[in-house]
Amino acid sequence: MPEGRTHVKEDEQRHETRIADALKARPVDERAATVAETVFRLDDVHVYYGSFLALRGVTLDVGKNEITAFIGPSGCGKSTLIRCLNRMNDLIPGARVEGKIEYHDQDLYGDGVDPVEVRRRIGMVFQKPNPFPKSIYENIAFGPRVIGMKPSSMDDLVEQSLRGAAVWDEVKDKLKHNALALSGGQQQRLCIARAIAVLGPRPGLHGPHRGPDGGAEAGLHHRHRHPQHAAGGPRLRPHGVLHR
Ligand SMILES: Nc1ncnc2c1ncn2[C@@H]1O[C@H](COP(=O)(O)OP(=O)(O)OP(=O)(O)O)[C@@H](O)[C@H]1O
Ligand SMILES: [Mg+2]
């Protein structure tokens, strides 16, 4: 084998060793040292649709400033799990959630917790974009109006939200056009802008994320109420694989 090829092989081996080291699970106490605060804590969560057990015994923590990805085959329960995090499963007839889910140490399913308020604080970008059949402008302005926000300028809020979702340049000249006339990827970013308009400029992304065109689905949780979230960028932490 030529000498150059030997170097390539050694490089490949070193690279593979580095990947193998990186993939080793980090010890819990090491993780605890790097995660400043737990946002979600799930303990033995089961979800049923009628008698069908869709999710079995999920226990995990989601840390602040981390991006957590749920990866697994179609139908393994990724969407079901994410819907548990903002009580969207409550809206599905026959769906039942068992186990404990805490958000900032508060029981999300506890007595007296208003699911509408939960969904307002913990937004979600769906796998399939679902803009309202209204103008691009109205898609953004609708949420702030409904929850009684009084921005000094709605035009500015609309622009900043669309900029935050990196779609402003593509839509700034057609704000009065129907949002359904946008491409799939643009609709997806419009939906992210819609979440930014009510959640604030620095939402955190959680959950399966396949890019705008492939259909992203993610939980967006409210961060502007927690100024400490602004420090540093999010870290990526693949949480592991969900199996059927
Ligand atoms: N509303 C529902 N009623 C009954 N069963 C459901 C319902 N929603 C999902 N399921 C079932 O629960 C299981 C998990 O579905 P879920 O949508 O969470 O999968 P997923 O991992 O998000 O899949 P995909 O990658 O295809 O989006 C599947 O077997 C699905 O058929
Ligand atoms: Mg899904």
The range of the structural domain enclosing residue 133 comes to: 35-239
- Ligand that comes closest to the CA of residue 81: 1
Residue 66 within a domain:
yes
The protein residue whose alpha carbon is closest to atom 3 in ligand 1 is 49
Residue 21 within a domain:
no
Residue 19 within a domain:
no
For position 226, what pLDDT does the model report? 31
The CATH number covering residue 68 comes to 3.40.50.300
Instruction: Tell me the C-alpha distance between 215 and 112, whole Å.
Output: 34
Residue 181 within a domain:
yes
Residue 167 within a domain:
yes
User: Does the CB atom of residue 78 touch ligand 1 within 6 A?
Assistant: yes
Residue 15 within a domain:
no
Q: Averaged over 4-11, what is the pLDDT?
A: 54
Q: Which atom of ligand 1 approaches the CA of 76 most closely?
A: 21
Predicted structure pTM score: 0.64
Instruction: Tell me the C-alpha distance between 226 and 200, whole Å.
Output: 11
pLDDT for residue 214 is more than 90? no
pLDDT for residue 231 is more than 60? no
Total structural domains in the chain? 1
Task: Summarize pLDDT for 54-74 with one digit per residue, the tens.
Answer: 999 999 999 998 888 999 998
Name the residue with tokens 């805490």. 102
The protein residue whose alpha carbon is closest to atom 11 in ligand 1 is 54
Contact 229, 68 (CB under 8 A): no
In the numeric block, which tokens belong to residue 232?
């540093």
Instruction: Tell me the C-alpha distance between 214 and 125, whole Å.
Output: 13
